Amino acid sequence: MQLRTTLSAFALSSAVLLSGCQNMSPDAMLQSGLMAVQAATLSDAEVKSMSDQACAEMDANANIAGPETSYGKRLNKIAANLGNQVNGTPVNYKVYLDEEVNAWAMANGCVRVYSGLMDAMNDNEVEGVLGHEMGHVALGHTKKAMQTAYATSAARNAAASSGNTTLAALSSSELGALGEQLVNAQFSQSQETAADNFSFDFLTERNIPREGLVTAFEKLAKLSGGESSMFSSHPGSTERANNMRNRLAAK
């Protein structure tokens, strides 16, 4: 009895924190809170399934470069160097024709780079950036981001829920919103630094020059006046470039 009371209290408080809605009924708040609890315990298979769906929705709404375009050919070359898996997770790459300087990855190995970033960087710099994104996948950061994004989406839609506590099925619009949350996820300072170092080690293992990691961060610093919206500003791009430069000097 005490366990049920504690869980109910946690669920109710989670619903309020996640939704920010003062007009939800107690039942909807409880349902939202239970979904929040569930989100924190999503299995790897569930995270992969949701990432598959969110990535597919993002792709459906993007202008993707074909394999025979200049961007497609460049990415194929970069992908051949990086390989088609990271820590056992299959990786698939695509270029979005978008002038934003951006790149991201999801827990299922969905890796996307924008043409704006490819225009701003050479191939080795793109390799460094994608290695960083793959680091978020390998280190479990993208799984945690999916859990957070799903909890938020579930809370916002709890009022329309059928009342069951199984993994909620999301509509196309909800999947699109979920994907946007993942693309714009802000990682912690320790996560960003860990992903940077993962990329350095990953490139080393594949005999890919690491200098691109230094110059990529330097370019991001210039493009954003010292910080970049593509990466969390904790730490900043200049500091990250220095970290990579120091690691190069130590080898």
Catalytic residue selected from 125, 127, 133, 174: 133
Comparing CA positions, the residue from 131, 120, 136 lying closest to residue 78 is 131
For this structure, is 133 an active site residue?
yes
Catalytically active residues are: 133
